[in-house]
Amino acid sequence: MTPEAAGSPAFEQVMQAVAREVEDTLDALLPPVPGPQGRVVAAMRYACLGGGKRLRPFLLVSSAAMFDVPAATARRAAAAVEMIHCYSLVHDDLPAMDDSDLRRGRPTVHCAFDDATAVLAGDGLLTEAFAVLADARTAAKEAVRLRLIAGLARASGMAGMVGGQMIDLSAERDRLDLAGITRLQALKTGALITFSCVAGAILGEAGPEDSAALVGYAGDLGLAFQIVDDLLDVEGDVASIGKPTGQDSAAGKATFVALLGVEEARRKAGELCERAVRRLDRFGPRAGPLERAARFVCERRS
Amino acid sequence: MTPEAAGSPAFEQVMQAVAREVEDTLDALLPPVPGPQGRVVAAMRYACLGGGKRLRPFLLVSSAAMFDVPAATARRAAAAVEMIHCYSLVHDDLPAMDDSDLRRGRPTVHCAFDDATAVLAGDGLLTEAFAVLADARTAAKEAVRLRLIAGLARASGMAGMVGGQMIDLSAERDRLDLAGITRLQALKTGALITFSCVAGAILGEAGPEDSAALVGYAGDLGLAFQIVDDLLDVEGDVASIGKPTGQDSAAGKATFVALLGVEEARRKAGELCERAVRRLDRFGPRAGPLERAARFVCERRS
């Protein structure tokens, strides 16, 4: 695998193919329902089926494939992770939180529906993720399903994503130093990215060394992803990113770019991606998709 | 067990003792954490540790005791159910939903903290409930834990509590007929009350006939509970109920009382409680606490 392959049309096509398969899985897991409660299901579908890079599903499906997990099984777990990611976006976008009108180039859920429906749609997606993982179709072995459930709950709860969002909203937010925003990233986005990679190892019943390598890879990748996000917030434009830009810097928030400068932030992201790729050495050519995902994260423009 | 025992101090003391034990379990499951993310944990604790009847935990612990489930195990499952119930109250009270300032005689979470923290605290409790059920300390057998997780997700998600809240907020809400508000109740509060009873049978690996009897009991009990709630909304006062009264009737909402009248609603609630008690016949004296719970639901004044 050459570094050039990362930005090649071929890789983006592979990623899009996984995204489409996971979107089909989400579509099947969340069928529309009639009656007045159908509105919350419609909002859940709007939140989940609106496109997006589907990075977390790609990481999960690619990790699982290294351990010969059947693709249909991995896609169900990937859909559960994506439900959690999408619920967090719906709630983060609420007027009570970040008050965002635009997401993936479309009105956010509370704008397309209303605030109450958006709260409920997030709650519904969060709940449904665990229903999917508890189902025998996600993994035949009960112990595997329980490890997935426990891992997803840890990554997305008060010691993970929810805790990170709380830091992001805290009064101390603007004064965080590099260690502080690194910790914020590790909780708010890192924990779920790490779980996405580890879930493949759980499904494949991989050994502890393989799992540890994936945890290391995901930690580097997740941090690089956030640094690039901060760079795009400064450098990107709304048309290619699909949401408003310049918000964090305008709000005076401490970001990796604000603390490191553009050049050093870009260098750091590149270094992390290279290290992430080296963590995959033990897997050999099987790790090709994860290697390309790391390069994609660094080179993305949206 | 005589009917008089329901309102006796002895029974209220039994219920309070279970409530205290479950509150201790919740306290241990949600230890305060330092740092800026500590705020969301503090809000989760505020939402969970503020008293309340703890009816669902009582039903779960009492059902489990019929099948000789160790009390410490049942209390963990009961704490998980109460986390779900409390998260739903936090989100329902939000300005975007019912916009309530008072709950259990105290400021609601978004008033004591802020709207964003209340959204996150609800998300955190919802997530943590599944973490608790996935833990081996809740049940040694993996299959039992998975049945609890699947059952709780079903009861609280889009086909249960979340779906019911969506109906409650819908444009059609005011025009619901008796079948419609019965369906609303079955989803919004009935599903979690039913799960509370069934969880005891799951933990105790009870047979299908015992589970079915508990489902029947819980269905009658849950409907009676809602009818009494509607009666208290008309007849109660804020001091004894701990939240504003008269809101549903003032809002012109279809309620059991509005549709049936006070007398017929009271008769119906009594009839449901009697039927709930008869569903317990097969269990003999073991069902004493559930029998008294049914009478308590009918006779409660707050």
Residue A214 phi, psi dihedral angles, 5° rounding: -70, -35
So what's the pLDDT on residue A248? 65
Write out chain B's pLDDT in tens, 302 residues: 444 445 566 888 999 999 999 999 999 999 999 989 999 999 999 999 988 889 999 999 999 999 999 999 999 999 999 999 999 999 999 999 999 999 988 999 999 999 999 999 999 999 999 999 999 999 999 999 999 999 999 999 999 999 999 999 998 888 899 999 999 999 999 999 999 999 999 999 999 999 999 999 999 999 999 999 999 988 865 555 556 556 665 566 789 999 999 999 999 999 999 999 999 999 999 999 999 999 999 888 77
Of residues A97, A145, A171, nearest to B119 (C-beta) = A97
So what's the pLDDT on residue B16? 94
Q: Is residue A1 over pLDDT 50?
A: no
* Average pLDDT for chain A: 92
Kindly state the greatest CA–CA separation across chain B. 54
Residue B197 CB: number of other CB atoms within 10 A? 26
DSSP state of B82: H
So what's the pLDDT on residue B234? 86
- Superfamily (CATH H level) for A3-299: Farnesyl Diphosphate Synthase (1.10.600.10)
Spatial contact of B249 and B234, defined as CB atoms under 8 Å apart:
yes
What residues of B are in contact with residue A36 (Cβ under 8 Å)?
A: 166-167, 170-173
How far A285 CA lies from chain B's nearest CA (Å)? 35
Of residues B124, B130, B154, nearest to A149 (C-beta) = B130
What residues of B are in contact with residue A26 (Cβ under 8 Å)?
A: none
So what's the pLDDT on residue B1? 41
Q: Is residue A5 over pLDDT 50?
A: no
So what's the pLDDT on residue B301? 74
Q: Residue ranges per domain, chain B? A: 3-299
Write down the H helix ranges in B94-138. 109-112, 115-134
Of residues A39, A118, A131, nearest to B154 (C-beta) = A131
What length does chain B have? 302
Of residues B120, B122, B127, nearest to A153 (C-beta) = B127
> With an 8 Å Cβ cutoff, are B123 and A122 in contact?
yes
Chain A residue whose CA is closest to B166: A37
> With an 8 Å Cβ cutoff, are A116 and B97 in contact?
yes
So what's the pLDDT on residue B222? 96
Confidence of residue A94 (pLDDT cuts 50, 70, 90): very high
Spatial contact of A162 and A152, defined as CB atoms under 8 Å apart:
no
CA distance linking residue A220 with residue A214, whole number of Å: 10
> And the tokens for A95?
């007027």
So what's the pLDDT on residue B253? 78
So what's the pLDDT on residue B12? 87
How far A241 CA lies from chain B's nearest CA (Å)? 25
B24 interfaces chain A, CB cutoff of 8 Å: no
- Residue A122: which residues within 8 A CB-CB, separation 6 or more? A47, A87, A88, A90, A91, A109, B123
> With an 8 Å Cβ cutoff, are B162 and A116 in contact?
no
A106 CB-side CA count, 13 A? 15
> Per residue in A139-189, pLDDT tens?
999 999 999 999 999 999 999 999 999 999 998 888 899 999 999 999 999
What residues of B are in contact with residue A128 (Cβ under 8 Å)?
A: 153, 157-158
A6 interfaces chain B, CB cutoff of 8 Å: no
Of residues A96, A114, A134, nearest to B149 (C-beta) = A134
> With an 8 Å Cβ cutoff, are A124 and B162 in contact?
yes
Confidence of residue A3 (pLDDT cuts 50, 70, 90): very low
A37 interfaces chain B, CB cutoff of 8 Å: yes
So what's the pLDDT on residue A9? 64
Which of A98, A115, A161, A162 is the mutation pick for testing B, counting most B CBs within 10 A? A162
B111 interfaces chain A, CB cutoff of 8 Å: no
> With an 8 Å Cβ cutoff, are A172 and B41 in contact?
no
Chain A residue whose CA is closest to B88: A123
- Residue B242: which residues within 8 A CB-CB, separation 6 or more? B102, B103, B104, B105, B106, B302
So what's the pLDDT on residue B11? 86
- Residue B246: which residues within 8 A CB-CB, separation 6 or more? B233, B234
- Residue B77: which residues within 8 A CB-CB, separation 6 or more? B60, B64, B132, B133, B138, B139, B148, B199, B203
ipTM value of the model? 0.93
Work out the angle between the directed axes of helices A288-299 and A262-278 (0-180°, nearest 10).
180
DSSP state of A205: T
Q: Kindly state the percentage of chain A with pLDDT values over 90.
A: 82
